[in-house]
Every structure is written in structure tokens, then in C-alpha cells.
Structure 1
Amino acid sequence: MITEAPQTHAAEPTGGSPVRIGALVPLTRPGWVEAGRHLLAGLQLAVHDVNDSGGIDGRPLELLVRDTAADPQQAAAAVDELAGLGVAAVAGEYHSVVARAAAARADALGLPFLCSSAVLDTLTEHPTDWVARLAPPQSRGWRIYADFLLDAGHRRIAVAAAPSVYWASGTRILRDHLAPRGGTLIELDMRELTPAAVCDELVAHEATALLLLVGHPDPAVPIVQAVRRDPRLADTLIGAPAGQPEFAEWATLLGDDGTAIPFLRYLPDRLTLLGARIETALREQLTAAPSFVAFEGYDTITTLAAALRSHGPDRTRLAASWPHVTVEGTRGKIQFSRTPGIDVWQWVEPPIQVVDRDPADPERFRIHRTD
């Protein structure tokens, strides 16, 4: 078993050729650039800390960053390029559909891939030892979110959905979980509806909650503004299970309209001692409060460093290390296992919260549910 605790005092890397890790990050539109910036900040800070603690057996860790721009083909091409450059592993990515393309290519090439943030259950079409993931699978997180809605008394729930494998998967998870418990899911196709028409549909269907399964900022922001300004919908809950309100851009664009919109984030109620230290460092680096995505980035490199120190940079040996990893991360102890229905190595118990921005203080998050 690989067991690694955070190191605070150690020698600098002594030299030698660097151990290279490829990083897949959305840094340009149509990718979610703010999420990419937070993910990259976590990855880079962890590389700095690993090298400050002696590197990988004295060899420095080097990050080769590639922008995916939320494009699956671009991500797959980046995996090809990074494999050719001799990276020991690939890490990162935020968008689920993009991560799925990267995982498929990494699996085909025999290149270890530790996915940081993407939650889509089916990252690969068959069981593989080459891919592991830190984020919880969508089926777990979105069922928790559905339970939150039911406990809050919502039985007629509408989803404003854009066409996407990710949104379709989320819709299916919600419907399958709600129906046996007396809930009804109403699908609103955002290829056909304007924000004003969404309001009319909510009234016609007597929905008490609207979930935003759409991109940010458009059309999510106009939909929120339309619902908030419609007096017929004063008591309608707006929800965003995919986490759009997590980032500062949401608060900047929507102000008070962006508060009281529950979403999923992957943080514990209390960070580990390492996490508290990293939160301070990330806040300085980002000049803003770090999102859960930044912590996912940091934990990704911390986990890979532990595996590299134990198994070395050989790709086959590194991929074989997933079930033996035990790492104290920023959000808890990281260990991987096989989860039914998930074909990659999965962090056993990543933390999940349902939170929203407090109307009294939009910079503060209220925790409604923890799992």
C-alpha cells in the first residue's frame, strides 16, 4: 500500500531529467475558463510543493499544460501529443464529455490518466486499469441532489436542458431517482425555448423547482434573470446541480439574483490540515476564494506524486498502483476502488455538499446537505 502524508520540510530536487505529467485544462472558450483557471492553479501549486519536498526521488516534477477548450477532439489530440513527449501520466480536465474523449485515448495508448473533476459515470466504454478519477460519479452526486429537492418538498421539478451527453445523463439520473419517490420531472428543451418561454412553461406545468442543465453564462444567466423577474414564479426554486454558482463570475453577472440557487460541490464541511494550508496559498494565487475545482487539481498531483514515488514513472507500473494508493489530500483520505457501474478506478468517498450563496452575503456559502 502507498501511504503518503503531506511533507512540509524536505530537500529540493537534486537534478536529473524531469518526470513529466501532462495537464488537460479548459483555458479558452467555449470551455469554462474560470473552472480551468482554478484547476490549473491547484495543479501548479501541487507541483511546486512536490518539488519543494524533494521531487520524485530527487527528480523534478514538470507539468506540460494543454488547453482543451472544451473540445473532445482537441483533448484527444493533446493526449496523443503528450504521450509522444514521454509523460508518465496525464491529469486534469473539468468537462465530462472532454474527459471521456481523453480517457478513451489514454486507455488506447496505455497512458495513465488521473481525471480531476469530470463526473460522467461512463468515462470509458469498458473496464480499464489506465484511468482513475477523483470526482464522484454523477449518479451518486445527482441522487443526493434529488434527495435534497424531495426533502425540501419539491415534487414537480422542471429541467431546462441543452443537448449533451452530460445533461442527458443527469436528466436520466434525476428522473429515475425521483419517480419512485413521488417526484415528476418535466423536461424543457432549450433548443426551442427562450427564457421568457421557460417561465410560461413553469407556470403551465405547476413546477416548484427549475434546474439549470445548460451552459454558463449563456443561457443560464438569462434564464435566472427571467425567472427572478417573473412575479408568477416568486416561490420557484432555481437549482444548478452542475455547480455553475460556485465561481465568482456567477456572482458578478447575477448579483443578488444568483443567490439561493443550490448546487453540488465536492468539499467536506472541514478541510484537512493540509487543505487549510492549501486554501490560503490558493487564495493568494487566485486573488479569490478557491473553488472545489482548485482543490481537485491539488489532490490530483499529490496523488500522482505518491504513486510515482512508490512505483516509478513506468506507465504500466503506475497504472497498476491505483488500488494501492492511500494519500492524505486536502479534502480527506484518497483511496481508489472498483465501484459497480463505473469502469475506472474511483476515489472511494469524495465529499459531496449541496450549498448555495447566502442572500445576506453572496460571498458566503450555506451548506444544506453533506454526504
Structure 2
Amino acid sequence: MLAGLELAVRDVNDAGGIGGRPLELVVRDTAADPRKAAAAVEELAGLGVSAVAGEYHSVVARSAAARADALGLPFLCSSAVLDALTEQPTEWVARLSPPQSRGWRVYADFLLGAGHSRIAVATQASVYWATGTRILRDHFAARGGTVVEFDMNALTPSALCDELVNTGATALLLLVGHPDPAVPIVKAVRGDQRVAGLLIGAPAGQPEFAEWAASLGEDSAAIPFLRYRPERLSPLGARVETTLREQLAQAPSFVAFEGYDTVTVLADVLRSHGTDRARIAESWPRVAVEGTRGQIRFSRTPGISVWQWRWAPVHVVDRDPGEPDRFRVLHAG
């Protein structure tokens, strides 16, 4: 994400900045900690920033959004998907990534279409995982399916395999942290002949990252996940992908494009409406910006408390078993 943000800032400044002044990116690491996120937003507000951007972890983004809302500081969230990003509707926060309810229902439709009507989920305590489990359970129940839940705070990966043998589940979804316990679970399931043929899935997107392939090798493939980018990027997206691939020495994940698009939107808003925080927040419904993955517009969506890009692309993909560095599109939502 940071690579995408920084590249977009360089591109904005190479094109003359904002009214002839350079756009400055002030970075603070939230370290996946909600308290650090709230403190970072407080600090940045005191430094006089015009807006806050970024964040990947949903629970952390919720903390940042709450603080930004309280301070009257515009926050464009790049990648967090929790539907309830704020407790109450707010004018201060907008989001680029699709809400969890949309993405995870697309993933459930993929599973059902592939014949998986009884699935198991290995999960940990978190509002993000709990919300995902509820979305899946409700979607499957409405279509005659079943979701069996296993608490990985109480089970080892080998004990999970013991439990899976008699469930009748044909798919196991990893609603857990990466690398631990996600990687050990994959190794245990792939190495246990009793559950051979069980589909492993990771809707939250961990298999997108190079660390996943490096940790699991051949076992990293054929694990479907959600990816928020189209099969074909826009011309801007293709250029950004080439630049980031050279910079990172690997293919950029969809999160890098989310970072780039975040700055692209904010730069357009700053050019059109200036740096006043209230005017920036008022501009969300008037945004119409061509990003790396299509034209970005924000609207109000039922059940979503922030301004939302409704049409962010949602695909279910996996790593090709014959070529793990290549991604296959399995389903589009």
C-alpha cells in the first residue's frame, strides 16, 4: 500500500503538484494496532494535514475512522472492508475497497456454484472474522447450505484435521491471521490424507502476497481468495503495475493499486476544492476520477455508514498449481 501511495504522490508532483505546490505524504505506521491508529490520526490532525489516507486492517481502520470523524478530519480508507467502519453515518469518511458484505457474498456464491454446500471455517476472535463468518452463515443458510465453525484459539492445526474428518465439509476457509496460524493449518491439511481433496480457501486475501508463496511453496496454490482488481487494468493501471513491479521486484498486489487510487482521488479533490477539511469532506459525492481499476465515484449504500465506491471490482482468484506466480480468475462478482 505504501508503495502505491508514494508512487502516486511522485506522479502528482511530477505533473506540477497541487496548484504549483508539492503534495506531501506524512507517514505513520499503525502497526495493526487500533490504539496506535487513533493516536496517529490525532497526531496528524495536530500537524495540520488536509486529509488522512490508507489503512489495510479493518479493525484498525475502524479506530482511525472513529477518531477522524470526531476530529472533523477527512479520511479516505484504502483497503479495509468492514461494513460498519463507523458506528454512525458520517460525512468525513469515504472508502475505496468494497464492503465485506459484498465481497464475501461473492465468495460464497463461488463456493456454492462449485458444489460446496457444507463448509468449515477455522477462525479466531475478531470482529472482522466474526462478521465474515456471519455473512457466510447467513448466505449459505438461505440456500440450504451449512457452515461449521472451529475456534483456532482452542485447536492446533493437527487437532483441526481430526475434527474435519467427520464434518462432511468439502471446503475449509481460513479466517485466521497470517502467517500464524494460517500457514501451519495449510501445511497440516495438505499433509493429511484423511482430508485429501478438501478445498482450502482464504477469502481475506492472504494468498495474494509473495510471503504466502514463499512460506508454502507448492502448497500455496489452488487456494481461492478475494482480489479487488479487474482482469484488465486501465491504461493508468497498466503503467502503475509496470512501475511498481520494477520497484518492488515482484508483482504488486491489489492493495498497491488501492494505495495509488487513494492519492489519485485526494489529489483531484485538492485541486478542485482546496485544502479546507470541510470542503474536502463535502466533495465525496462529486468525485469522478479515473483510477487504476476503473472510474471512481462515491455514493451512499444501504447499511454502509461511509461514502462508498460501489463498483470496485471483486474477483475470486487463486494461484495456478502449474505456475504459482500466475493468478487464475475463478469467479467475478
Aligned counterpart, 2:297:
335
User: In structure 1, the residue corresponding to 2:187 is in which secondary structure?
Assistant: helix
Shift of 1:348: 1.9
Q: Decide which of 150, 155, 159 is 2:121's aligned counterpart.
A: 159
**Which amino acid in 1 is paired with 2:31?**
A
Shift of 1:103: 0.1
Cα shift readout 1:178-198 (whole Å, capped 9, x = no counterpart): 101111000000111110111
Q: Decide which of 252, 257, 266 is 1:295's aligned counterpart.
A: 257
**Which amino acid in 1 is paired with 2:208?**
E
Q: Decide which of 277, 297, 319 is 2:281's aligned counterpart.
A: 319
2:166 maps to 1:204: yes
CA–CA distance in structure 2, aligned partners of residues 249 and 72 of structure 1: 24
Aligned counterpart, 2:50:
88
CA–CA distance in structure 2, aligned partners of residues 201 and 58 of structure 1: 63
Aligned counterpart, 2:108:
146
Aligned counterpart, 2:145:
183
**Which amino acid in 1 is paired with 2:99?**
P
Aligned counterpart, 1:70:
32
2:58 maps to 1:102: no
CA–CA distance in structure 1, aligned partners of residues 114 and 195 of structure 2: 17
User: In structure 1, the residue corresponding to 2:232 is in which secondary structure?
Assistant: coil
Cα shift readout 1:83-142 (whole Å, capped 9, x = no counterpart): 000000000000000000000000000000000000000000011010000000000000
Aligned counterpart, 2:246:
284
Aligned counterpart, 2:6:
44
CA–CA distance in structure 1, aligned partners of residues 21 and 280 of structure 2: 16
Unmatched segments (≥5 aa) in structure 2: none
Aligned counterpart, 2:21:
59
Q: Decide which of 205, 220, 226 is 1:264's aligned counterpart.
A: 226
Shift of 1:200: 1.2
Shift of 1:362: 0.3
CA–CA distance in structure 1, aligned partners of residues 276 and 22 of structure 2: 16
Unmatched segments (≥5 aa) in structure 1: 1-38
**Which amino acid in 2 is paired with 1:352?**
V
Aligned counterpart, 1:255:
217
Tell whether the 8 Å contact from 1:336 to 1:347 is kept in structure 2 after alignment: yes
User: In structure 1, the residue corresponding to 2:142 is in which secondary structure?
Assistant: helix
User: In structure 2, the residue corresponding to 1:160 is in which secondary structure?
Assistant: strand
Cα shift readout 1:182-217 (whole Å, capped 9, x = no counterpart): 110000001111101111111121111000000000
2:214 maps to 1:243: no
Moved over 6 A (4+): none
**Which amino acid in 2 is paired with 1:133?**
R
CA–CA distance in structure 2, aligned partners of residues 198 and 364 of structure 1: 30
User: In structure 2, the residue corresponding to 1:41 is in which secondary structure?
Assistant: helix
Over the aligned positions, Cα root-mean-square deviation in angstroms equals 0.5
User: In structure 2, the residue corresponding to 1:307 is in which secondary structure?
Assistant: helix
Identity of aligned residues (%): 76
CA–CA distance in structure 2, aligned partners of residues 157 and 300 of structure 1: 35
User: TM-score, normalised on structure 1?
Assistant: 0.89
Cα shift readout 1:293-344 (whole Å, capped 9, x = no counterpart): 0000000000000011000000000000000000000000000000000010
**Which amino acid in 2 is paired with 1:201?**
E
CA–CA distance in structure 2, aligned partners of residues 173 and 180 of structure 1: 11
**Which amino acid in 1 is paired with 2:177?**
G
